Every structure is written in structure tokens, then in C-alpha cells.
Structure 1
């Protein structure tokens, strides 16, 4: 009998075809009322695997899925997983790292350039007929990126891809703060390890690339903004809640920092009355870090491969809770 898999994100048809070679697949379109759908709840009660990226997988969810063997996120992040609870029940948890590194790094650089050179603001000025003379005034000037200092908080796969672009493409000086030294980045990109305080004080651009956890929530707050240069620009493409959003608003309003480029917010979709959206020196994107057709397909296929490997062999290559699972078995 085939193992039963629930897919609750819209995926490419090739992903479903791949899963159906070995599994029985049921698809549900994600919405906020999915857990109130009787058909979904019935399927969940019999499911051996779920594949998607939004559902909060905690004890109450797992109580509804007694046969579950693996949860597969179509994302490098997994803050929607209660890893301890999942592991205590002997369930495998997987994600999709590496395949999105370059695409997210591209997005981050787009944010850096757009914020530093005030691209959205200048586009609006042109469209609104404010460009009325050939030589623009200094009030429209931006700031350079090349030969500046980029501070990366969290130098993992995406951070390393960002450092590569900054070093080779823009001759930037790279500072980084991490839980452990990244000797490869130090060797390849001349990155310098330093304390959080040193990074904040000396960086022209501060890029936050840490996963969301109880240890990183509001990692950057009032104290951190006070340490940044007045000419500093904050870039966040990780998770919105790693930034204290009220402190960020205050720092920009009080000119403690020059501006911010944000792909993520504490509430998503972001509220239309969020003060950050009315600030000319803030560039806001709708969490599009990995959102290209090519990369999303790679992520979906990798998530599906994790499911098949987990169900068929018990050893998916992107197992998040590897050591904990081994201890429980």
C-alpha cells in the first residue's frame, strides 16, 4: 500500500507527478481556514507526510496526524515547526537549503542597491513629473555601495553567497558575526569575524541573515540601532521578527540610521498603515527572496525528494532534526 502524502501548497505539476510514482497524493489549497476543512482533517488523520511551507506544526497539529512520519517544508526556514515536539514524536523534519542561496543573495543586493540609490523614490519622482531639469539637485543623491563595508549577521549559505557578490562585484569590505567562524568565507572573500557591537559600529550596510528562533527574535532593537552609523542602512531578508519593528521605525524617524531595505515584516502581509511604508528611505518588498520560477521549482522538487527519501529509506538528506531523531530511535 502506498504511503499517503498531503501537499498543501500550490506546486508545479511535475512535483505531483514525481510524488505519485511512489505515494498516494492529496492536494489542498492553503488558506487560513484549512484546519477547519473536514476533508483536510480526514486526510491529515491518515497522512504519512505533509509538504508545504505555512502550517504551524505544533502539538495540537500533530495530535490530528497520528500516522505522520515526515514534515517537509518548501523553505530554508522552519520557524513554523515546533522541532522539539516533532522530534519527541519520532517525526522527521526537513527543509530546502542551498538551492535558493544565489537567488536570495540576488534579492538582497537588489534591496541594497535600491535603498542606497533611492531607486523606488526616484522612479516615482520621474513618473510624477518632478524631473524638470537636466542636472538633478543634491537632495536626490544616493550613496555608493562599492568599496563600502558590509556587515553580515549570520554567515551561512545565503550570507556566503552575499559576501561573494559584495567582495568580487563591488570591492566591499566584509565583516561578519556568526555562532562559529566561517573560515572558507574568510579565505575566499577576505571576510573578518567580529563581535556584534564591532559589526554594527563599523558597517555601512548591516544585513541580517539569521533564522527566527526564541534566541533571535528582536535580535536588532534600540540598542543595536544606536550603535549603527547615522549613514548606515539596514537590510533584512531573513524573518521580520528578528527586527524590533517599533525600534526600527523610531531609529529612522530620529535619523539614527539612513534607511532600510526590507523583504520581510513582523506581520505578513504587511499592514497598509505600517509607518515604514510611508517612509521614502525604506524600500519594501513582499517577501520575494526566493521567488523566481526556477528556484521555487527547485525548492518544490527538493521538498518532494525529502518526502520520498524519508518514507522509503528513512534518511532524507535535508533532515533538520538528525541528531535528535537518532537519540529517539
Structure 2
């Protein structure tokens, strides 16, 4: 029998050669600030909050705007508000602010929207408003009708070339008249209120509007106060959302409309001026004062619904998110 030597043996397959690891090839790791952005962002809008931050009972974070929006949506739909992550109940009492996260976010860097430089979020607001050379500013002659708006570092050059200070009084008169007209309207409202406060019959009352549901097939949310006494008469204030729109929870822009109702029977006409301001325990602190008037009578016991002048939609959500809406109403009877 012929012997086969080891040298004569051939292998059918060559062993697989492993690929050498590249020394310079490393796994790309996200920056720490990017990882923190994903951890500390709001669970609803997925953005880093710049205001107060609330958390549910399991620690999921929500910015103040989204938090009040969720509570307002639940009020409009007559449901309980839940956390978008874990679906646990959220409310004014079940949620609390997370001060540690607020402080951590204030130290994270962010880019200036004008010059692109990085600043901590606690310093960025001051930089954008006061020190950024690229921040947009208006011409100092804007009240004369100049519409120029540009970066701050170009302001000096523009002012030196601006033609408006060299214009005649006749040319700049329309712009000045427009500004004066707006100020006159504000002063007129203020003067009217001050003048009426000197009338003999003036009364004010702190009212609390509570939410109710209509008994229609499609129930609607409305607010109503308890009866209160003012000017020796009984009154009630009512409010609705978006003029009783069918589905106000499906729209972003929401508004509250107010109505004043007299409950005392009248035998003669009664002219009343009234306005609302935030009450001592109101969730909003600033709102435009609108002076309204109405002539009540035996057949005219309700004013038309008029929109409440709030600063923005976020303020409306604050009112809707609260269990009650607090106002101070001032009523003035016009002497005959």
C-alpha cells in the first residue's frame, strides 16, 4: 500500500483570514450635550424647555406650555389628563416642578440665532437682547416713518444715511398721526375709567367661574359664576370657549368669551359700564382692560358674548387648565 506523505496533502479550502482592525476607526459617540438634550427634552414637544418644567409621578418631563395645554385639552374633552409617555394621571396636584432639571438646562450651551456663537442658556437671553452685534434693531427714526430693520452693527451707518430726519414736517406727518391715534385711544379708555370711578354708583366683586357641561346631545363646556350682588342688583357672569365651537379641543387658537347677565327684574332701562381684571388668585396676571357698556332693560337681560383680551393663546390654556377662573369685575352705573 502506497503511503501518502503529509507534504502531498492538499486542502480544498483555504482558512478565512480575519480582517485586520483599523486602528484609526472608532465608534462615533454623540456629544454629551446632545445626549442630555434627548434626556431632558419635553415629552410632548421634544424641545428643551426655556421656562418652568413639570414632571409626572414617574418623572417624565413636560414644559409649562405643553403641560397646561394637556390640562386644557382634558377640560375641553371632559376627560382626565394623562402623561403622553406612561399614561399616568396628571393634574395640578399630581405633578410638580423639577428645579434640578431647570437648572441643568440653564447651563447647557445653545447657539445664538443671530450670530451663531455658543452661550449657556442662562446667558443667551441677555446676549440676544443686549450684546449681540447681529441682533435685529429698528432705526431710531422709526417713529418718523423709517421702516429699516437690520443688524445692530449696521445701525450707525444707516442712521448717518437715513433720509427721514431730513424730511419736511408734511412728509412725516402721516406716521406721527398714526402713532398719536393709537396713544389717544389708550388714553381715552384710561380717562373713561378714571372718570366713571367718580360716579356715585360704583361696585366691584371678585367672582369665580366654574366649569359646567351643557345637556345637549353634543355636550359643550361653559363657565358660570355664582350670583353676586353689585349696585343693589343680582348678577351672573357666563363664559364659553370659541363661541361654543363644536370641537374646540381640535384647534390651537382658543379664546374665552364673556357675558354679563342681570338676574334682578327691571322695570326701567339701566345703562352699565363694566370691565374685568385678573382677580387676587387668578392664574393670569396681565390682560388688556376692555371697557364694555350695555343698556339693560325688562327684555334685555344679557349682554352679547365678547372676547376676553388675553396676551396670547398660552394664557387662555392657563385659564382652561385651572379648576376655576378668577376675575374681579367692576360695574359702573351711568347716572341719568
Q: Please say which structure displays the higher CA radius of gyration.
A: 2
- Which protein has the bigger helix share? 1
- Which protein has the bigger strand share? 2
Q: Which TM bucket (shorter chain)? A: under 0.3
TM-score, length of structure 1 as denominator length:
0.24
TM-score, length of structure 2 as denominator length:
0.24
